[in-house]
Amino acid sequence: MDREKPHLGTVQETLLIPLYARAVENGREQPLLRDTRAEEIVAALDYDFARFDELPSLTGTLLRARLFDRWVSDFLSTHPGGTVVEIGTGLNTRYERVDNGRARWFELDLPDVIDLRGRFFTDTPRRTTIAGSVTDGAWVEAVASQAADGPHLFVAEAVLPYLDAADVHRVVDLLADRFPGSLLALDTAGPGFFDTQEQHDALSKVTARMRWYCPDPAHLAGWLPGTEVLASHTLTSLPEPLLAELPLPYQQMIADLAVQQLPQVEGYHLNILHLP
Ligand SMILES: C[S@@+](CC[C@H](N)C(=O)[O-])C[C@H]1O[C@@H](n2cnc3c(N)ncnc32)[C@H](O)[C@@H]1O
């Protein structure tokens, strides 16, 4: 079969990094996660993935995916019929990994990504893709018109740091306004991580750069009165129950990393907010 060249904009290209991480991991004996679909997609795309081979940060993207998967699973065990909205979904396979057979899913990304995604994934009555920018309120109305009741969990994994701060504020305002009481999972790039992105092993291989600098995720609670930061983790301070589930070599790797307290690791946070 002829492989397909992905025609993606600058920030959109970054989706190929976590995709490749999941594809490679799928081939390991003791993986952080299984993702056969990612392996198939990588094989179908004509792209120089070798540039990402053996990069340490690929493991970081997998640990992040595991924590975000867990937050979605926790949400669905409390709210089996709830709504999950993947913001900047890329070619992610979270639905394949954690869907419970009842929840309502929306997967939003820019039009060129949704076009590519359409070659590999199909909508169903419970699963809807939306083409558009997260900064444009139209998608919010699309979700509200099809799944008004909620509760809603919005998952923005490795997306918001690529927007500028004013746009991130706008997104949070939009969500709190239209879906009060919803949850938002997001990552933040702070000191040591944001300012070393030119040297970042994977980002330095693509053109996109992060624009939103968040010095401390605790500050997010001050954006809108009533916002709560329910949890905030670094890759070296993952929740104990998640850590205990990881293959032992990864637990050891994280313990070694924690001792080093590297600014480029400790400056990156995975957070979940309860919006007012
Ligand atoms: C690093 S990728 C992460 C993809 C996916 N969340 C994952 O973890 O595999 C960043 C994603 O954010 C999307 N993105 C960036 N800016 C966006 C915007 N304004 N609206 C919607 N999606 C956006 C990109 O197209 C890309 O798919």
Shortest-distance Cα residue to atom 8 of ligand 1: 157
Residue 140: inside a domain, yes or no?
A: yes
- Ligand 1 center–CA 226 separation, angstroms: 27
Measured from the CB, is residue 135 less than 6 Å from ligand 1?
A: yes
List per-residue pLDDT tens for the chain, 276 residues long: 689 999 999 999 999 999 999 999 999 999 999 999 999 999 999 999 999 999 999 999 999 999 999 999 999 999 999 999 999 999 999 999 999 999 999 999 999 999 999 999 999 999 999 999 999 999 999 999 999 988 999 999 999 999 999 999 999 999 999 999 999 999 999 999 999 999 999 999 999 999 999 999 999 999 999 999 999 999 999 999 999 999 999 999 999 999 999 999 999 999 999 999
Question: Residue 154: beta bridge partners?
Answer: 85, 184
Measured from the CB, is residue 129 less than 6 Å from ligand 1?
A: no
Residue 1: inside a domain, yes or no?
A: no
Q: Which atom, in ligand 1's list, is nearest to the CA of 134?
A: 20
Shortest-distance Cα residue to atom 19 of ligand 1: 133
Measured from the CB, is residue 89 less than 6 Å from ligand 1?
A: yes
Residue 86: inside a domain, yes or no?
A: yes
Measured from the CB, is residue 133 less than 6 Å from ligand 1?
A: yes
Which CATH number belongs to the domain containing residue 268 in this structure? Answer: 3.40.50.150
Q: Would you say 118 and 91 are in contact if contact means Cβ atoms under 8 Å apart?
A: no
Residue 210: inside a domain, yes or no?
A: yes
- Ligand 1 center–CA 87 separation, angstroms: 7
Q: CA–CA separation, 28 vs 245, rounded Å?
A: 16
Residue 7: inside a domain, yes or no?
A: no
Residue 156: inside a domain, yes or no?
A: yes
Q: CA–CA separation, 220 vs 138, rounded Å?
A: 24
Q: CA–CA separation, 76 vs 25, rounded Å?
A: 25
Q: How many domains does the chain have?
A: 1
Measured from the CB, is residue 14 less than 6 Å from ligand 1?
A: yes
Shortest-distance Cα residue to atom 11 of ligand 1: 88
Query: In terms of residue numbers, what domain contains 244?
Result: 12-274
Measured from the CB, is residue 90 less than 6 Å from ligand 1?
A: yes
Residue 6: inside a domain, yes or no?
A: no
Residue 117: inside a domain, yes or no?
A: yes
Instruction: Enumerate the H helices of the chain as residue ranges.
Output: 16-26, 36-44, 57-78, 94-98, 111-117, 138-146, 165-178, 240-245, 248-260, 263-266
